[in-house]
Amino acid sequence: MITPTIAAMDTTLIEQLVYMASAFFFVTGLKKLTKVKTARAGNRMASIAMLVAVLMTVYLVAFKGQFHGDSVEAIKASIPWMVGGLVVGGLIGIFLAKKVEMTEMPELVAFFNGMGGASSLFVALATVVAFGSGAVSIGSEQTLSAFKGGDISLSIGLSILIGSVTLTGSLVAYAKLSGKMWKNRFGPVGTPGLNILLAVAAIGLVVFGGFLATGAMSTTAFLILTAVALFLGVGLVVPIGGADMPVVISLLNSYSGIAAAMTGFILQNNLLIVAGMLVGAAGLILTQIMCKAMNRSLSNVLFAKFGEDDGEKGDTEYKGVTSTSAEELAPLLEAASKVIIVPGYGLAVAQAQHKCRELGDLLEATGIDVSYGIHPVAGRMPGHMNVLLAEADVAYEKLFDLDQINGEFKNAEIVIVIGANDVCNPEAYDNPASPIAGMPVLDVWDAQTVIVIKRSLSAGYAGIKNPLFERDNCLMFFGDAKQALEDMVTEFKDL
């Protein structure tokens, strides 16, 4: 009978050094991602580290018999699966890299988070099934008693729990971001039915933890945990509004890393532990940054409904709005000496990043100082606007975050807001009862003239009115962002 082993067998010094090198490149790549100029190099470095790690794992399985004992038959049987996985996964990666537009990147990130959780979940479940059949040994002496006694059952349980929540939560986030989920399908977060189910699931997890502590676990118990955790992932993300999706994506990214680390403990693979904890820690830090940018706590993001009913408020709420056109704006731009562009999700929807850069280059060619103000939660994922503008080859030095740019608006003759709404809403300062009260926003109204490019006066994710549109120094340019920018470029050239 073939007896697979879960623990990593003794490896040579070279193998350990390869894993250490991969871990080093992961850490270095992550460090480089903290700076815009070195981000691409950091991404490449981390990708190479992952390739090396995968190839080493294939080598250990195919030539060292790791995870399969000394069975030649098992080793031969595993090779087609590994080769097939490498080929299929590589082709899918190439396809997605070529096909997915930058505007769809948030959905892709959410999907990838879910796949990371699914990987950890399936490895843990495979381990449970193997243990349940009594066919798995740990190391060279420990047997099924290691599972029954809880030696690795904690890692298995956490891998299943976090992996399941990440999988279903990420799929819900993907559905919300891509518009495939019905709004309010499950009601607001205060709906008694959903809260009761979530409470029951939470109690079930506590009971499971008690059994886990005693070591009285079974295959059935882990399968029940899987079902409860899968439901929990759906229930936790469904009530969260669209405005909080950047925070949710970064949190789910952290979950996927933690789940991977737990899987590393199951497989006793140090590299997987290191990589998983790096992703987990980075995701938590980014989540904290996002929460700070919105002046909200994580608990408030997770358990307070915010911004699900976006776009439902009509134009009738506004009075004294001044609309404009490209013909009227061209002379204003020509007379300006400093222009700040504030991109939002409308820029992404219209795929107008290239036209935005074209306008910026045209203004700069006439001696106008042009810069870009980026709010941390503009768009639908962390860094969404930075990625879009980078794709259009906007110089990194021209991008400024909220803290850097806010003091400059008063020195600008013109601010062009492209598809942004809540991140430049003065209600954050003026209305203590507003859902965004206290949230740091871009003080665009301090400029002499604010030009807002927007399809209509509909509300943003927060579902609230934006008094900026009624201010005397605000001009509304209604229309598709890409077409509006193209018209502005044409009219400016004609001058």
Query: Beta-carbon neighbour count of residue 447 at 10 Å?
Result: 24
CA distance 442 to 220: 53
DSSP element (H, E) containing 212? helix 192-214
Strand partners, 21: none
CA distances from 468 to 28, 344, 406, 425, 478 (A): 43, 15, 16, 6, 15
- How far from chain centre, in Å, is Cα 294? 16
Residue 422: active-site member: yes
Sign of CA dihedral 230, 232, 238, 244: negative
From its phi and psi, is residue 10 left (phi > 0), alpha (psi between -120 and 50) or beta?
beta
Close Cβ partners of 117 (under 8 Å, ≥ 6 residues apart) = 162, 163, 164, 165, 166, 167, 169, 170, 252, 255, 256, 259
CA distance 52 to 303: 41
For the record, the structure tokens of 428 come out as: 């954050």
CA distances from 424 to 93, 112, 389, 416, 428 (A): 36, 31, 19, 11, 9
Contact 4, 67 (CB under 8 A): yes
Provide the H-helix boundaries in 367-443: 384-391, 402-405, 427-430
- How far from chain centre, in Å, is Cα 159? 20
Q: Would you tell me the crossing angle of helices 245-267 and 270-294 to the nearest 10 degrees?
A: 160
Contact 274, 26 (CB under 8 A): yes
Q: Which residue has the tokens 């950047």?
A: 246
The catalytically annotated residue of 151, 310, 315, 422 is 422
List the one residue out of 15, 20, 95, 93 whose CA is nearest residue 58.
15
For the record, the structure tokens of 271 come out as: 């590299």
Sequential DSSP letters for 111-143: HHHHHHHHHHHHHHHHHHHHHHTT--BBTTTB-
Q: Exposed (0-12), middle (13-18) or buried (19+): which is 68, by Cβ within 10 Å?
A: buried
CA distances from 258 to 42, 182, 280, 338, 408 (A): 21, 30, 5, 46, 40
Could you give the residue numbers annotated as active site? Answer: 422
